[in-house]
Structure 1
Amino acid sequence: MNESGPVDAAVEPPCSCKLGRNLAAYGLEDLHATIRERRADGDSLRDLERFVNRSLLDGAIREAGADVIGDVDGIYDALTGDDVSAGKRTEVRERLEHAGVDVGAVEAAFVSYQTVRSHLRECLDVETARESRLSVDDARGTIEWARSRSEGIVERTVQRLAAAEEVAAGDVDVSHVVRIDCSDCGASYPVDRFVDRGGCDCGD
């Protein structure tokens, strides 16, 4: 699979790998957190390959403002499926091109599961070996990464609102406090405290 793809030099990606560059090119930077979460929830590398590529295709369609008949999953399968006839694939490609979608560019942006694995390991610091167990230190790192990511997204969104004069704001600084509430014992802790004390009062 071609491991090169479109890069928007005006967008600063969180990493320089193919997956990071192309998520940035299609305005999908928020998916880094989703990829991490889906992996933690049990998605395989193949699952994530499909998720990323389907998201890139959806981003390309939305970027073109295209009114395309058919769901994105079906369109993606028609473009990539081994059991799809050449005639069907050509029909779908022509429909997308007619709607203004640069099919060649988005196909070049598609990633392989090997690229997903490299992105997880080298960019998101996620262990891809299924037998590995999550340590407390790993959990702290994941939580801090997610919190920092969330703060950055909120801060940039507020800054954009201020620039558009939709809200009045000076030099904003966003902080995000995550709490853990247990409905069984009624305890409530900031997430750092929850992890440091080994959980809530249910273990007492």
Structure 2
Amino acid sequence: MAEDTGGQSRKSNKVARLIAEYDLDESLGDELEQLWTAEDQQRKSLRDLADLFNQRLLESAMASAGISTVDGEISNLYRLLTADDVSSGMQTEARNRLERDGVDIEQLERDFVSYQAIRSYLTEYRDASYEHPSDSEQVENVLDSIRRLQSRLRSLTEGSLDRLRSTGRITLGEFRLFIDIDVLCEDCGEQYGVIDLLERGGCDCNDGT
């Protein structure tokens, strides 16, 4: 009985059904799974994936109605339809425009999925899972992010100073940049550079206490 129930759940999955009904690319399921299980900054949350999927539904509905779009129009229309910070007047205007152009906006909005539906699709329908990185991997990920930010900040600052100097807007001789972030632990009183702190595994709070 348990297997029959699971099979029925897979067949009735809302996201899988909508992929077929809206004639979406069959690779969309792979794309959603890859984005959910990706590493570091490439990974998308379930809410992000729900927004992505709903925008694909909107794009398909507009294409079926013969509506041509330009870059960025789909994401902007979706924002007007769903964002909390959009006025009711702007939302109504967007809905009326789509309705005039032949989109069944009420059905489309009923078909919009939640992040829970995406999670059900990925974990129950596709049997996907996301493994959280280990503690050491998480520390390394943070270190890599900080180093990349420092590198971008160094490049931006050096380029800006060079341009200001070359155009006579500031006076500056040869220079070196020091881009450091220090962390002061108010419990043990020790201060460390943030990279040093992460590499050594923390401060001395637990040493001998």
Contact preservation (8 Å) 2:37, 2:129: no
TM-score (norm 1): 0.54
Structure-1 separation of matches of 2:69 and 2:128? 36
In structure 2, the residue matched to 1:25 is: 21
Is residue 61 of structure 1 aligned with residue 38 of structure 2?
Answer: no
User: Where do 5+ consecutive residues of structure 1 fail to align?
Assistant: 1-13, 133-204
- Pick aligned residue for 1:115 from 103, 114, 117: 117
Letter of the 1:46 partner, please give it. R
Q: How many residues align?
A: 119
Query: After superposition, what is the alpha-carbon deviation per residue over 1:65-113, rounded to whole angstroms, capped at 9, x for unaligned?
Result: 1246770000000000001111100100010011111111111111100
1:114/1:24 CA distance change after superposition, 3 Å: same
Question: Identity of paired residues, percent?
Answer: 41
Structure-1 separation of matches of 2:84 and 2:131? 28
- Pick aligned residue for 2:78 from 66, 76, 101: 76
Contact preservation (8 Å) 1:19, 1:115: yes
Structure-1 separation of matches of 2:131 and 2:97? 40
User: Where do 5+ consecutive residues of structure 2 fail to align?
Assistant: 1-9, 135-209
Computing the radius of gyration from Cα coordinates, the structure with the larger value is 2
Structure-1 separation of matches of 2:123 and 2:91? 34
* 4+ runs deviating over 4 angstroms: none
1:104/1:130 CA distance change after superposition, 3 Å: farther
Contact preservation (8 Å) 2:15, 2:113: yes
Structure having the larger proportion of residues in helix: 2
Matches within 5 A, 1:161-180: none
Letter of the 1:32 partner, please give it. G
Matches within 5 A, 1:1-204: 15-28=11-24, 29-41=26-38, 42-67=43-68, 71-128=73-130, 130-131=132-133
Structure-2 separation of matches of 1:125 and 1:131? 19
Alignment RMSD, CA only? Answer: 2.0
Structure-1 separation of matches of 2:132 and 2:12? 25
